[in-house]
Amino acid sequence: LRLERHDKAERALQVVLDNEPRNVRALHNMAAIAYSRGDLQRAERLERDAIAIDPNYFDGWNTLGAIYVLTQRPADAIEALRTALQLDPKSGQAHHNLALALRATAQQDAAREAARTACGLDRRFCS
């Protein structure tokens, strides 16, 4: 995945899932490939499968929230990202994603606070 050999990674992950259909990391990584290709519907389904297996899977909730932001479902995004932040309150990325979702629902004060928190946790999210 990191080398952006998505086709090869997808084939390898499918082998993992054929042998371990409840492998949450493999499902999440397959979702990451779908996400990178713009197939947000498939990415959402795969992340939902992952969190159905492990409801405490932070990466699944965070990515699901990002998908909801991109598909203009901010209320769903806020819910998913708040779940993610209960699991990992120190994730700058999740706070950043939450800020985007809150802005989309005109919750400007809460969005600014989430953005400040994101920046404080991870300088990549400072504007």
What pTM was estimated for this model as a whole? 0.91
Is 2 exposed, middle or buried, given 0-12, 13-18 or 19+ CB atoms closer than 10 A? exposed
pLDDT > 90 in the chain, percent: 90
As given in the structure block, the two tokens for residue 11 are: 């084939």
Q: pLDDT value at position 127?
A: 78
In the chain, which ranges are E strands?
none
Q: How far apart (Å, rounded) are the C-alpha atoms in residues 102 and 39?
A: 24
Summarize pLDDT for 18-51 with one digit per residue, the tens: 999 999 999 999 999 999 999 999 999 999 999 9
